[in-house]
């Protein structure tokens, strides 16, 4: 066999004084709750400015059409309308957005409003500003757009066909990115395996976590200062700024983002930069603040859907003992009409190439296409969950086809606790874990043996089937943005980081601000917990600035809240800033107490001499000396402390090898192991979930209650996606689920009670042992699909779709006797 790459990546373990413990690790109720519970939070639609107008976008009813003309005269004549903005104006006033893809995909031109053509149902052609929400909508209906419809392409694989209708002339085809990821020696593995399991096709569907608060922004291109003030719920404002600035020809110091409370985001709210750009132009043109609150229907049509991926020609070499040697597959990712954050999805999945298993030989031929559908945008579990679903489906299909027990097959192939740090075939380093233990805990929580017995007792003839499924998944967190170079070697991105700013305020209070834009993850609380531990005080006395304000929060280009990283990057930054502040406090205290710094300690908001708590100075005394009594300090001391401490946490990354497509792409690998027990009504395909358990491992836990909450949320969204939630287009490119009427967001009656178990394997690579978590890696999709498969008879087709409506399940159960199963085993 050819050689498997030897270790290419080294990650230094972090060894620092561990001051966490008194507050960190406890389920402290959240500091941010009070304002929410009293109805006093500040969401974007709550923001109001004098002279503000309300914006409404005019959207295309066609999936693909040439724009013949746009006539805004009737809209502008309506009383109460301030004005309009069209694609033609935008073309004159701004530049197309920066593209991540290299040419030819990177030749794609997108402005903030459609220019010349519309490319999906919901593509924005104009925007109206009026004195009320109602009049804005009235006026939008008066904008007359003449379209010349063009043939639409809605299938992401068919879009790659040279004869398919072309979306972007300047790209030359609908293929925007293609690359082959080739690790180990898949040909050797296929030749030498005892069995090769071949699966025809697996399709991961479009859905969205649909945050309950839609996108919104109040944008004011302030005429006096030339600053564009943006109050919005965009969750990655620095990325948005890097895209918006060049489009508008405005330097980044003239773009000021703000947010306070964000009503869920899940990745979807990365995608509001085109609308914000249009609002900026509208504000400038009309000399007024422009407020936009997206309607749910517009959100469903145009805010962005999660990545849809189709895997074909899947080949899995397996040894007689069940060892899975590798995977060979062709993958097609359908990005929709424009590239919003894409084609990063074409590399992000490779953070988890072998999933949770010691799979050594992997070849993925990856193609990303555009089609006449809503652009995709990162959605909780972004790009990894699609790949992990593939791997989990493979493991279960192998178990079913070759007669292995799915539990034993997993345990046999899992990366074992002693294997960490584990280097994957593409040189990622999994930091820590104990997957067999997590699986045992999850199985124990549902009483697996009892369900197996129940399944057997039920037998045939009852009209019901019980299925039990396992989904093991990784929540890779803290990206190395250098992976973007695997997509486009010219991109000047690598590493990651987050900033925090801690200060001792005038009367000795501690204040912390961060570059993050939390959406419910409790940053104000967990940051206060770690800072409190480091500064020897109560978290109640640490004020963490609510929300993000570019005018005074500190930040780096990577700032924001996305990609399961806060516990590492955000808390890493907070801890670093608190350590710096602690050092300054000690320095001043040593001077004031005439003691050696090494003899001092912090506690109860004071600095005291160890062993003599009477010799102490409270923080207010420290603040007094530095801020308002500094003549008593030595000039050296006065000149060397500010009690204002900024820290940027920088994770230990190197630049990946873009030719080999290898490198350490993420710092941490939290895991979740899900077990789902469900019952199917054979005659209708209807499913009830009977039992559900999750064992999670995110290393050291700072606030267990918050971690459990994230697990619950990711689980419900995943179950929703597996059974209810899907975006489907008809052949003409019309979206069939454009409101919560047809897009059935999982309700309290549909969601099961979720049992949680915990494994804690601290990460050796992070400042606090925590591993970022929250996205959850789509594990319920794996577990539900596995459970459905488990309920089917041996001759049934493979569960090949990630979304299974009642009808789809009905068809799987009531399959034709000789229906193609979509799977074949070749045994040597």
Partner 1 sequence: MLLESVEYTRPRNLDEALRALASREGAAVLAGGQSLVNVLKNRVASVDLLVDVSRLDELRRIEVGADGGLEIGACVTYDELERSDDIRGAQPMLASAAGHIEDRQIRNRGTIGGNCCLSDPSNNLPPLLIALGATMNVQGPGGGRQVPAEDFFFGYFMPALEPGEILRSISIPPLADDAGVGYQALSVGHDSKAIVRAAAHVRGGDTIEDARVVLAVVGPRPVRHSAMEDLLNGAPASAETVERASEAIGDGDGLEPISDAHGSADYRRRVARVLARRAVYEAMMRGARS
Partner 2 sequence: MSDERDPVVSDEGTAHAIEVTINGETHKRTVLARQLLVHFLRDTLGLQGTHVGCDTGSCGACSVIVDGQLIKSCMMLAPQVDGASIETVEGLAQDGELNVLQRSFNENHGLQCGYCTPGMLMAATDLLRRNPNPSEDEIRHGIRGNICRCTGYVNIVKSIKAAAEAGAGAAEEASR
Reduced to 3 states (helix: H, G, I; strand: E, B; else coil), residue 81 is strand
Alpha-carbon span 548 to 550, nearest angstrom: 6
In which order are the strands placed within the sheet that holds 255-259? 81-86, 124-130, 53-59, 290-293, 216-221, 228-232, 255-259, 548-549
Indicate whether 292 belongs to the interface with partner 2 (CB under 8 A).
no
HSE-CB at 819 with a 13 A cutoff on CA atoms is 15
Candidate residues 741, 753, 816, 818; the one interacting with partner 1 per rule CB under 8 A: 741
- Asked whether 770 and 702 are in contact (CB, 8 A), the reply is yes
- Asked whether 736 and 728 are in contact (CB, 8 A), the reply is yes
Task: Select from 272-280, 536-544, 585-593, 739-747 the region that touches partner 2 (CB under 8 A).
Answer: 739-747
Indicate whether 737 belongs to the interface with partner 1 (CB under 8 A).
yes
Indicate whether 135 belongs to the interface with partner 2 (CB under 8 A).
yes
Closer CB to partner 1, 455 or 734, in the complex: 734
Alpha-carbon span 626 to 132, nearest angstrom: 51
Alpha-carbon span 588 to 575, nearest angstrom: 20
The CA-based angle 628-631-635, given to 5 degrees, is 120
Indicate whether 78 belongs to the interface with partner 1 (CB under 8 A).
no
Candidate residues 239, 257, 724, 765; the one interacting with partner 1 per rule CB under 8 A: 724
In whole angstroms, how close is the CB of 395 to partner 2 at the nearest point? 25
58-97 residues in contact with partner 2 (CB under 8 A) are 79-80
Indicate whether 454 belongs to the interface with partner 1 (CB under 8 A).
no
Where do runs of H (alpha helix) occur along 353-402? 384-402
Q: For residue 569, how far is the Cα from the chain centroid?
A: 15
Alpha-carbon span 619 to 504, nearest angstrom: 8
Paired tokens of 824: 């074949």
Task: Select from 65-73, 320-328, 519-527, 559-567 the region that touches partner 2 (CB under 8 A).
Answer: 519-527
Indicate whether 132 belongs to the interface with partner 2 (CB under 8 A).
yes
DSSP strand pairing (53-59 vs 290-293)? parallel
Indicate whether 493 belongs to the interface with partner 1 (CB under 8 A).
no
Backbone angles phi, psi at 543, to 5 degrees: -90, 120
Closer CB to partner 2, 231 or 404, in the complex: 231
What string marks each residue from 682 to 711 as x (binds partner 2 by CB under 8 A) or -? -----------------------xx-xx--
In whole angstroms, how close is the CB of 300 to partner 1 at the nearest point? 12
Indicate whether 133 belongs to the interface with partner 1 (CB under 8 A).
yes
What string marks each residue from 297 to 316 as x (binds partner 1 by CB under 8 A) or -? x-------------------
Q: Is the CA virtual torsion 675, 680, 685, 689 positive or negative?
A: negative
Indicate whether 221 belongs to the interface with partner 1 (CB under 8 A).
no
Q: What DSSP line would sit under 481-541, residue for residue?
A: GGGHHHH-TT-------EEEEEEE-TTS-EEEEES---SSS-HHHHHHHHHHHHHTS-GGG
Give the N- to C-terminal CA distance of the chain in Å, as an integer.
Answer: 17
Indicate whether 592 belongs to the interface with partner 2 (CB under 8 A).
no
Indicate whether 545 belongs to the interface with partner 2 (CB under 8 A).
no
38 binds, among partner 1, partner 2, none (CB under 5 to 8 A by kind): partner 2
Indicate whether 745 belongs to the interface with partner 2 (CB under 8 A).
yes
Q: How many residues bind partner 2 (CB under 8 A)?
A: 67
Q: What DSSP line would sit under 416-459, residue for residue?
A: PGGG-SEE-TTS-EE----HHHHHHHHHHHHTHHHHHHHHHHH-
- Asked whether 441 and 759 are in contact (CB, 8 A), the reply is yes
Candidate residues 5, 557, 806, 825; the one interacting with partner 1 per rule CB under 8 A: 806
Indicate whether 137 belongs to the interface with partner 1 (CB under 8 A).
yes
695 binds, among partner 1, partner 2, none (CB under 5 to 8 A by kind): none
In whole angstroms, how close is the CB of 219 to partner 2 at the nearest point? 18
Question: Cβ neighbours of residue 113 under 8 Å, at least 6 residues apart?
Answer: 85, 86, 87, 90, 124, 125, 126, 127, 274, 278
Candidate residues 157, 227, 286, 751; the one interacting with partner 2 per rule CB under 8 A: 751
The candidate with the shortest Cα–Cα distance to 666, out of 334, 455, 350, is 350
33 binds, among partner 1, partner 2, none (CB under 5 to 8 A by kind): partner 2
Three-state DSSP string of 548-566: EECCCCCCCCCCCCCCCCH
Indicate whether 807 belongs to the interface with partner 1 (CB under 8 A).
yes
Question: Cβ neighbours of residue 349 under 8 Å, at least 6 residues apart?
Answer: 383, 384, 386, 387
Indicate whether 736 belongs to the interface with partner 1 (CB under 8 A).
yes
Indicate whether 133 belongs to the interface with partner 2 (CB under 8 A).
yes
CB atoms within 10 A of CB 737: 18
Indicate whether 684 belongs to the interface with partner 1 (CB under 8 A).
yes
709 binds, among partner 2, partner 1, none (CB under 5 to 8 A by kind): partner 2
242 binds, among partner 1, partner 2, none (CB under 5 to 8 A by kind): none
Kindly list the residues in this chain that would bind partner 2 in the complex (CB under 8 A): 27, 29-30, 32-43, 45-48, 50, 79-80, 131-135, 209-214, 261-266, 293, 295-297, 519-522, 705-706, 708-709, 712-717, 739-741, 745, 747-749, 751, 753-754
| Contacting positions for partner 1 (CB under 8 A) | 133-134, 137-138, 141, 295, 297, 683-684, 686, 724, 726, 728, 736-737, 741-742, 744, 746-747, 749-750, 805-807, 810-811
């Amino acid at each position: 066999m050819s050689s498997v790459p030897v270790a290419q990546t080294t990650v230094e373990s972090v060894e620092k004084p561990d001051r966490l413990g008194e507050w960190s690790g406890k389920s402290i109720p959240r500091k941010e709750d009070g304002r929410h519970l009293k109805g006093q939070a500040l969401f974007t639609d709550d923001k109001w400015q004098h002279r503000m107008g309300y914006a409404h976008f005019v959207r295309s009813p066609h999936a693909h059409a040439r724009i013949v003309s746009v006539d805004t005269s009737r809209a502008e004549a309506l009383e109460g309308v301030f004005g309009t903005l069209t694609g033609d104006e935008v073309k004159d006033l701004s530049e197309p957005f920066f593209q991540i893809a290299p040419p030819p995909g990177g030749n794609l031109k997108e402005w903030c409003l459609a220019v010349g053509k519309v490319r999906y149902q919901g593509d924005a052609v104009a925007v109206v500003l009026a004195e009320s929400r109602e009049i804005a909508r009235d006026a939008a209906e008066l904008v007359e757009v003449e379209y010349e419809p063009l043939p639409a392409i809605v299938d992401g694989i068919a879009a790659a066909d040279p004869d398919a209708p072309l979306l972007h002339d300047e790209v030359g085809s609908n293929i925007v990115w293609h690359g082959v990821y080739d690790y180990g020696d898949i040909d050797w593995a296929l030749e030498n395996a005892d069995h090769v399991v071949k699966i025809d096709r697996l399709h991961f569907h479009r859905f969205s976590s649909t945050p309950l608060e839609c996108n919104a922004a109040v944008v004011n291109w302030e005429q006096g200062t030339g600053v564009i003030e943006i109050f919005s719920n965009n969750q990655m404002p620095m990325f948005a700024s890097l895209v918006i600035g060049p489009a508008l020809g405005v330097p980044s110091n003239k773009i000021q983002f703000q947010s306070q409370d964000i009503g869920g985001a899940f990745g979807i709210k990365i995608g509001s930069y085109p609308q914000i750009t249009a609002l900026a132009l509208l504000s400038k043109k009309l000399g007024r603040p422009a407020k936009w609150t997206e309607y749910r229907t517009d959100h469903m049509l145009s805010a962005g859907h999660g990545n849809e991926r189709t895997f074909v020609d899947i080949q899995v070499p397996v040894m007689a003992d069940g060892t899975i040697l590798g995977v060979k597959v062709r993958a097609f990712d359908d990005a929709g009409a424009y590239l919003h954050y894409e084609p990063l999805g074409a590399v992000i999945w490779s953070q988890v190439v072998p999933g949770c298993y010691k799979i050594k030989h992997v070849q993925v031929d990856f193609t990303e296409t555009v089609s006449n559908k809503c652009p995709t945008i990162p959605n909780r579990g972004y790009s990894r969950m699609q790949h992990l679903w593939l791997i989990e489906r493979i493991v279960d299909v192998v178990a079913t086809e070759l007669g292995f027990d799915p539990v034993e097959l997993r345990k046999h192939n899992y990366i074992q606790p002693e294997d960490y740090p584990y280097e994957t075939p593409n040189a990622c380093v999994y930091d820590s874990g104990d997957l067999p233990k997590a699986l045992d805990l999850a199985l124990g929580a549902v009483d697996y043996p009892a369900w197996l017995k129940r399944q057997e007792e039920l037998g045939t003839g009852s009209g019901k089937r019980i299925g039990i499924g396992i989904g093991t998944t990784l929540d890779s967190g803290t990206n190395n943005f250098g992976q973007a170079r695997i997509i486009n070697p010219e991109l000047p991105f690598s590493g990651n980081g987050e900033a925090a700013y801690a200060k001792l305020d005038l009367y000795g209070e501690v204040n912390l601000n961060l570059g993050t834009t939390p959406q419910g993850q409790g940053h104000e609380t967990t940051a206060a917990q770690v800072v409190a531990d480091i500064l020897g005080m109560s978290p109640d006395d640490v004020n963490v600035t609510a929300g993000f304000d570019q005018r005074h929060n500190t930040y780096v280009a990577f700032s924001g809240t996305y990609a399961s990283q806060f516990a590492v990057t955000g808390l890493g930054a907070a801890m670093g800033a608190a350590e710096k502040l602690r050092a300054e406090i000690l320095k001043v205290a040593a001077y004031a107490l005439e003691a050696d710094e090494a003899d001092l300690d912090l506690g109860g908001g004071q600095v005291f001499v160890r062993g003599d708590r009477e010799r102490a100075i409270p923080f207010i005394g420290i603040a007094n000396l530095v801020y308002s009594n500094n003549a008593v300090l030595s000039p050296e001391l006065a000149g060397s402390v500010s009690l204002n401490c900024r820290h940027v946490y920088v994770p230990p990354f190197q630049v990946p090898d873009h030719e080999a497509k290898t490198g350490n792409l993420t710092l941490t690998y939290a895991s979740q192991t899900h077990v789902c027990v469900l019952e199917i009504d054979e005659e209708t395909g209807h499913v009830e979930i009977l039992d559900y358990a999750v064992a999670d491992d995110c290393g050291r836990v700072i606030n267990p209650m918050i971690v459990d909450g994230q697990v619950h949320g990711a689980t419900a969204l995943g179950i929703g996606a597996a059974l209810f939630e899907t975006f489907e287009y008809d052949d003409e490119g019309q979206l069939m689920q454009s409101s919560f009427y047809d897009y059935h967001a999982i309700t309290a009656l549909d969601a099961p009670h979720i049992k949680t178990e915990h494994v804690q394997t601290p990460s050796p690579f992070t400042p606090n042992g925590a591993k970022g978590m929250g996205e959850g890696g789509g594990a319920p999709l794996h577990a539900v699909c596995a459970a459905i498969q488990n309920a089917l008879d041996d001759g049934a087709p493979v569960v090949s779709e990630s979304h299974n409506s009642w009808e789809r399940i009905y068809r799987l159960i009531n399959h034709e006797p000789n229906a193609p199963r979509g799977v074949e085993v070749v045994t040597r």
